Structure 1
C-alpha cells in the first residue's frame, strides 16, 4: 500500500511538472544565444544577412570545384577568355561541345539555391516596412537571374515559389523574364532614389560587400544593368530596348563612370576561385583569342591579365578551344592568369562607356557622342590598371589581331587571312560603317570586361564580336554548329526530374530543340 501511494505521488508531481514545463516551453527551451525575429529586424540582420550571402554566391565564393562548373567550364571558355589544358572526361567535355549534363546543372543549382532563395526570403521579411532592403534584393536578383537566363533561356522568375501540384512551377520565357527584370530594376531604382532624395537613413553598410552601403552606387549600378539589358535586346525588341535604355541614360544619378564604381564582390579572406583553378589545379590558361588580340594590339593590359610562359619574359601563349589534348602536360606550360585579389568582378565602369557608345550609334537620347564614349571606355579600362599611355593606343590604326600559332600542334593554327581572324584596328573612324563601329566597340568592351566571361560570352553571341576561333574538334553530335559556335546550355537535367511538365512547356518557347545549338530570344545570329 505504501509503495502504491509513493508511486502515485511521483506520477502526480511528474504530471504537474510536465504541465508547468509545457506552459513555459518556449521560454525554457530558448537558446540564450539565439535572436528573435524582432531582434533581428532591429539591426536589419533578418534581411541583410541573406543578401550578403546572395552577393557572395553570384559566383560561389567558397567552393572552387562548384565555381569551376558554375561559370569557368562554360562561359569563361565559350567567351574566348580562357581554356583548360586538362583533357577532362577523356577530352570529351564542354570545351569541345561534348556537353556534360552534370556540369551544366551547376549554374542553375547554385543560383536558385544560394541567390534566388535568399533574395526571396529577404524580400518576404522586408516587404511591408523595409522597402530599401526589398529594392536591394530586386537588384541582386536581376543581376543573378539575367545571367541564368543568358545561359539557358527560359527561367523560373515571376512564378518562383508558386507550386502547382499538377503542373509544377511555371517558367517565364526569356522575353517575359527580361520584361520582369526591367520592371524590378525600375521599381528598385525609384525606391532607392527616393531614399537618397529624402535623406533617409541608409541601412546597408553592415551587409553590403560591394559598395559598403552607398545607395547612390547601387542606383548607378542598377541604371547600368538596365542599360546592359536594353542593349542586349536591341536587335530583337528595338522599341522596348530604346525605352529602357533611354530611361537608364536619363536618370539623374547616372551610370558607373570611373574604376572606383566597378561592381566587385569582396570575398575576403577567401581567395578568388580562379586562383585555385589556375595555380592549385593547373586547370586554367590563357585562350588563343586572348593571345591573338592582346599581342596583336600590343595591349599594355596583357601583363595585367596573364603571366608569361617559361619561354621568356614577354612570351605569351594561349590554348585554342576544342583541340585534341592527350595529357595536361602538353599545354600546362602556357600562360596562366595573373593572381586575383579577394574580389570577384561582375561589371566595370568601362563597360558602361561602351554601352553608351553603342547606344549613341543607335541614336538613343542621352547617350552622347559615340567616339567620345568609345575613347572614355578605353581610358577608363586603362585607369583601372594605372596604365598611362592611352592616347598612343587609341590612335593606333595599324596593329591588328595576330595570327595564332600553336607551338605544340600546327593543326590548331589560325594563319593570316583566315576569316576567323579579325582585321579591325583600334582607332575610331567616324565615317566607318555601323558594323565596323560595332566591332570596335565590342572588341574593346570584351578586353575591358576580363575576367567576367559570362557577360563576354553573351555579347559575343549577340554581336559575333570579337571574332573568335571555332573549335577544332566538335563533339556535339551535329547539334552545335562549328561555325556559329555554342549558343546556350541545355535546360538542367535536374528540372526534368523535379519539374517535368513546366519544363516541357518552357522548351516550347525556345527557337528550336533544347540543345547547345539553339539561339536565345535576343540572339539573332
Structure 2
C-alpha cells in the first residue's frame, strides 16, 4: 500500500513528530526539513502521510504491548467486553481498580505523540491552501481526542502548541473540549460538503485507510460522530445536545447507514493487536457479562465474537476483579475470535441506535425509535451475514442468564441480583422511557463489540447494560464498593512536564483526581 511505503523524507518527518514532551509542543510549527516543500505538494504527502499515521494510531496498530495499555487493560475491560486471566502485578491492577500510573499514562502519550501531533502538523501545512486536508485532520482530531477526554476529563485541545510562559500548556475542561469538538466537526462537515457540491477532486485516496478517499463517507462519519457526542452530553446540557444532534440529523448527506460504511482502519498486513493479546500471550478472554447476555439471548453473533471453551459448545467468561492466583485458573475460558486486520471504531449499527435514542427525546429528523432500534439490530446482523433477524427482534422472553463461575462460586451472579438485567429483546412501545433506553443501549453494546472505549463511555453515561461490579476492589475506597470506575486519573507525565496547568485542570473536575470521580457528562 502506497501510504505505508515511506520515503526517507517522510520517515524523517514522522520521527520529528514523535517527541512527546509537552514543553516542545510549539516546535511542531517549524519546518522539519532542510529543503523546500514544492516537490511534495503535487502528491500531498506533507499532509497525507501524517494523517495516515493518525488513523493507524487511534489504536496503535504495530505495538501490541502499548495497545494493551492504551485501551485493552482499561476500557476493553471496564466496558464488560473482556477480562484477563493474568494476575498482573500480584493481582493488584486496573482490572480490580488497583490503578497503575505507568499503565494509565499510555492512552495519553500514544494519542498526543502519534495522533494529535500529526494532525496538527498536517493542519499547519494545509491551512489556507488545502481546505479538504485541513477538514480531514479536524475530523480525525475529534475522533481521537474525544476518546481521551472520555478517559480523563480535561485535555489539551484548543491550547495545543501554545505555551503560556511559566504556566505551561493550558487544558480545556471537558465541557470546553466538547464545545471545541462540535465547532471543529461543523467546520469540517461544511468544508467537505462544499468540496462535494463543487465536484472537487477527491485527494485522500493514497492516504485514507478507512474510506479510500471518499469524501461523502467522511461527511457521513463526521455527522454520526457529531450525533454520538450530542447524545453523550444529553443529560448535562439538553439544549446544546439537541441543537448539535438535530444539525447532524438534518444534514443532506445523512449518517452511516450500512455496515459497509463502518469506520474501520485497514492495518494490513499487520495483525490485529487483540489477536496477539489473546492467542500469543493468553492475556485475554471473554467477560462474564458477555457470557450472561449473549448466551441468555441465544444471540447468533456469539460465535462471531468468541470461541467455545475447549472446542465444546459452551462459552465461559471471566468476571472482572476476582481473585486469580495463576493464569492457568482461567486461561481455558473462551477466547476471542481472530479479528481481521482492520480495527473498528464505529459501526453503522451504532448510528441507528443513536437515532433510536434521539427519537426517544423527540429530536427533529430522528424518525421512529422502534424502527431505528430494529434497524440497528438488523445492520449488526448484516455485518456478520447472519439471517433470521426477525426471529431475534421478536423474542420477548429471553433474558440475560445468571453467571456461574465453575472455578469459584464467590464470583457467581444469581437470579434476583440487581446487577443481572431482566431486559428482553423485543421492542415494547408501552414501556417506560428508561426501559426503552436500557433496551437500546444493551443492543448497542452488543453491536459495538470489540470497541471497548465507546462501550465503557456509554455504560458510564447510561448505566446500561447492567454489568457486574468487581469482587475485589483495590481502589483504596476511591471507588466505592459495588460501584464502577468512572475515569482514569490524570497522567503522571503531565505532573512532570506541565504541573501548573495540570493543577488548574484538576480543579475543573470539581472532585478528587481518582477513578471514582465522574466526568462532566457522567451525571445520570
TM range (shorter): over 0.9
Quick check: 1:351–1:445 contact (8 Å CA) kept in 2?
yes
Per-residue Cα deviation, 1:65-89 (whole angstroms, up to 9, x for no partner) = 0000000000000000000000000
Aligned pairs (5 A) from 1:383-394:
383-394=382-393
Which residue in 2 is equivalent to 1:160? 160
Which residue in 1 is equivalent to 2:417? 418
Aligned pairs (5 A) from 1:359-398:
359-398=358-397
Give the whole-Å Cα distance in 2 for the aligned partners of 1:440 and 1:320: 23
Which residue in 2 is equivalent to 1:256? 256
Aligned pairs (5 A) from 1:69-108:
69-108=69-108
Per-residue Cα deviation, 1:21-43 (whole angstroms, up to 9, x for no partner) = xxxxxxxxxxxx99841111111
Give the whole-Å Cα distance in 1 for the aligned partners of 2:412 and 2:393: 28
Which residue in 2 is equivalent to 1:219? 219
Which residue in 2 is equivalent to 1:41? 41
Q: Does 1:521 align with 2:514?
A: no
Aligned pairs (5 A) from 1:270-281:
270-281=270-281
> Displacement, 1:484?
2.5
Per-residue Cα deviation, 1:265-308 (whole angstroms, up to 9, x for no partner) = 00000000000000000000000000000000000000000000
Per-residue Cα deviation, 1:81-111 (whole angstroms, up to 9, x for no partner) = 0000000000000000000000000000000
Quick check: 1:511–1:519 contact (8 Å CA) kept in 2?
no
- What is the TM-score when the length of structure 1 is the normalising length? 0.93
Which residue in 1 is equivalent to 2:342? 343
Aligned pairs (5 A) from 1:199-218:
199-218=199-218
Q: Does 1:55 align with 2:78?
A: no
Give the whole-Å Cα distance in 1 for the aligned partners of 2:73 and 2:328: 19
> Displacement, 1:241?
0.1
Which residue in 2 is equivalent to 1:5? none
Which residue in 2 is equivalent to 1:285? 285
Which residue in 2 is equivalent to 1:428? 427
Which residue in 1 is equivalent to 2:312? 313
Per-residue Cα deviation, 1:140-184 (whole angstroms, up to 9, x for no partner) = 000000000000000000000001221000000000000000000
Give the whole-Å Cα distance in 2 for the aligned partners of 1:511 and 1:230: 23
Q: Does 1:355 align with 2:349?
A: no
Which residue in 1 is equivalent to 2:19? none
Which residue in 1 is equivalent to 2:300? 300
Which residue in 1 is equivalent to 2:236? 236
Per-residue Cα deviation, 1:347-402 (whole angstroms, up to 9, x for no partner) = 00000000000000000000000000000000000000000010010010100000
Give the whole-Å Cα distance in 1 for the aligned partners of 2:352 and 2:404: 33
Give the whole-Å Cα distance in 1 for the aligned partners of 2:221 and 2:139: 9
Give the whole-Å Cα distance in 2 for the aligned partners of 1:344 and 1:481: 34
Give the whole-Å Cα distance in 2 for the aligned partners of 1:84 and 1:416: 25
Per-residue Cα deviation, 1:320-363 (whole angstroms, up to 9, x for no partner) = 00000000000000000000010000000000000000000000
Give the whole-Å Cα distance in 2 for the aligned partners of 1:111 and 1:522: 22
Which residue in 1 is equivalent to 2:444? 445
Larger radius of gyration: 1
Quick check: 1:511–1:521 contact (8 Å CA) kept in 2?
no
Which residue in 2 is equivalent to 1:123? 123
> Displacement, 1:313?
2.8
**1:62 counterpart SS class:** coil
Give the whole-Å Cα distance in 1 for the aligned partners of 2:510 and 2:298: 41
Quick check: 1:81–1:286 contact (8 Å CA) kept in 2?
yes
Which residue in 2 is equivalent to 1:486? 485
Q: How many residues align?
A: 492
Which residue in 1 is equivalent to 2:476? 477
Give the whole-Å Cα distance in 1 for the aligned partners of 2:491 and 2:34: 38
> Displacement, 1:220?
0.2
**1:414 counterpart SS class:** coil
> Displacement, 1:211?
0.1
Give the whole-Å Cα distance in 2 for the aligned partners of 1:106 and 1:494: 10
Give the whole-Å Cα distance in 1 for the aligned partners of 2:364 and 2:55: 33
**2:344 counterpart SS class:** strand
Per-residue Cα deviation, 1:6-54 (whole angstroms, up to 9, x for no partner) = xxxxxxxxxxxxxxxxxxxxxxxxxxx9984111111101100000000
Q: Does 1:182 align with 2:199?
A: no
